[in-house]
Structure 1
Amino acid sequence: MIRSLLIRGMIAGLVAGVLGFGFAKLVGEPFVAQAIAFEGEHAHGHDHHEATTHSHDHEGGDGDEELVSRDTQAGVGLFTGVAVFGTALGGIFSLVFALAYGRLGALRARGTSALLAMFGFLSVAVVPFLKYPPNPPSVGNAATIGPRTALFFGMLAISIAAAVIAVALQRRLRVRRGEWNATMIAGAFYIASMLLVQFALPRIEEVPAGFSASLLWNFRVAAIGVQVIIWTTLGLVFGALAARELERPALRKVATV
């Protein structure tokens, strides 16, 4: 059954990745293009004197060339990245589903999948986003990319760990406290933990002067929108595929009785 669920999870993740790519291409890419244009204008204005002074040194040369063209980055590169991410996420999601199925009360396959997708979106996408939101090109210092990446993944790991602990806490308390009270206590634990981590970890402010606030906002909304598309699609599609695998035999047995 695990192998079958894994395959279905990867299929659902691929579908989610394709839809996420479509959203990123149609909604997010225009903001990326605007950010790149800002970077080019800023660099041109800053280096205009140096470029003029040394123009004869580069006369007749090819200049700096992109290793990967912008069209490739925005097309095949973006599609490959989002599709691979979605497929891998779907595989991991299916394994988590296999562990959780039958342990979340009376929820069946579709309900379990939808609930896990909601938890995943909140803990994997929203919470790290609130502390370290993504930035478009031209925002950020190349010298700090290592620390910024480490902080983001640290926040992600802490969020996932706190979510796992909260679920375990809810299961432990529900017998003595009841389902509702146990859920409230576990939720309060997760929120308090994340608030503490949010305040403890350092902030990163590297938005250059003059960068459009509306462009930054729109880019980040588009980025979280991609996550909404991916997690929603994953929860719904995998739930439908898992239900066919897990619940159809029971329906056939009832029909033959």
Structure 2
Amino acid sequence: MTARAFLVRGLLAGLLAGFATFLVAYQVGEPQVEAAIALESSGEHSHDESADTGSASAADPGAEAAAGHSHDEADAVVSRGTQRTWGLLTGSLAVGTALGGLVALAAATAMGRLGRLGATGSTAVVALAGFVGVALVPFWKYPATPPAVGSADTIGQRSDYYFVFLLVSVLAVVGAVVLGARLLPRLGAWTAVLVAAGAYLVLVTVVGLLMPTVNEVGDFPADTLWYFRRASLLTLATMWAAIGILLTGFLRPLEQRTTERTRRRELAASL
């Protein structure tokens, strides 16, 4: 089984996973984004009305509406309808395909280095570790926030925090997998997995507690924030689960054929 075989199947699995992610994001995530945008718009509208009372609106009753209309047209470089349909689909397919290829290459690298696990077992471990290290744990420390949450002045700083913690989490999960593989011959499968997982959790917990906490929610409705973050996590889980399941399924027939050829060669050599 070559890396090319893994990569081709990984790209296909990622493409299909991207489409599944689009469906979940459109049905579950987009309504929460729309709700957040509506709250943000209503807040800005109220602020504008209170600031402009007795000025332009008093002199010309149509000035405020015209200004708001021209402002919306200037800001809408890409319409919201395009963002939530074709834009979301294109982004989901692109990210899914790229991520599927990366998972496939990582699984090809891990095959033969994780004890007796073959192609499908290695792929399942890589997909699970990737979800935990790339999606779940960074989300725990710096969860996704809707458009109306957070100050525009701190968006760069918040992004830096997230990517630093993401890098720490990815390096930690790679180290945990390597540690587990080295401990496997001496401690057995269960003990090696528990020690490696425990080491990873301790490291990311300590780093997470040391890194700055971001709390810019303000008076944003808690229920809307919860639904948005739940939808975001569900979308991430869909992407990773679909890649792991599909890639494992695509590799299983190839692994079975490879195993059968190996058995035939061994049988022929023993005659």
TM over 0.5: yes
Map of 1:85 onto structure 2 = 95
SS at match of 2:70: coil
**CA–CA distance in structure 2, aligned partners of residues 15 and 47 of structure 1:** 45
**CA–CA distance in structure 2, aligned partners of residues 31 and 59 of structure 1:** 27
Structure 2 stretches of 5 or more lacking a match? none
Cα deviation 1:69-127 (Å, max 9, x = unaligned): 01011011111111111111011101100111122222233222222211111111110
1:141-180 matches, within 5 Å, as 141-180=151-190
Map of 1:32 onto structure 2 = 33
1:57-96 matches, within 5 Å, as 63-64=70-71, 65=73, 66-96=76-106
Alignment RMSD, CA only?
2.0
Name the CA shift for 1:59/1:172 in 2 (closer, same or farther; >3 Å).
closer
Cα offset, 1:145, TM superposition = 1.0
**CA–CA distance in structure 2, aligned partners of residues 248 and 140 of structure 1:** 53
Cα deviation 1:167-219 (Å, max 9, x = unaligned): 2222223333333333222221111101101101101111131x211110011
Structure 1 stretches of 5 or more lacking a match? none
Map of 2:21 onto structure 1 = 20
SS at match of 2:148: coil
**CA–CA distance in structure 2, aligned partners of residues 255 and 244 of structure 1:** 17
Map of 2:236 onto structure 1 = 227
**One of 191, 212, 227 as aligned partner of 2:201:** 191
**CA–CA distance in structure 2, aligned partners of residues 83 and 130 of structure 1:** 25
Cα deviation 1:48-76 (Å, max 9, x = unaligned): 13345234466756511111101011011
Map of 2:222 onto structure 1 = 213
Q: Say whether the 8 Å CA contact 1:112–1:239 is kept in structure 2.
A: no
Q: Say whether the 8 Å CA contact 1:110–1:236 is kept in structure 2.
A: no
Name the CA shift for 1:111/1:178 in 2 (closer, same or farther; >3 Å).
closer
Greater shift in the superposed pair: 243-252 or 154-163: 243-252
Map of 1:46 onto structure 2 = 47
Q: Say whether the 8 Å CA contact 1:5–1:242 is kept in structure 2.
A: yes
Name the CA shift for 1:246/1:176 in 2 (closer, same or farther; >3 Å).
closer
**CA–CA distance in structure 2, aligned partners of residues 234 and 81 of structure 1:** 16
**CA–CA distance in structure 2, aligned partners of residues 254 and 171 of structure 1:** 26
**CA–CA distance in structure 1, aligned partners of residues 193 and 264 of structure 2:** 37
Counterpart AA for 1:246: E
**CA–CA distance in structure 1, aligned partners of residues 64 and 193 of structure 2:** 66
Moved segments of 4+, more than 6 Å: none
SS at match of 2:43: helix
- Rg comparison, structure with higher value: 2
Name the CA shift for 1:229/1:136 in 2 (closer, same or farther; >3 Å).
same
Map of 2:142 onto structure 1 = 132
SS at match of 1:63: helix
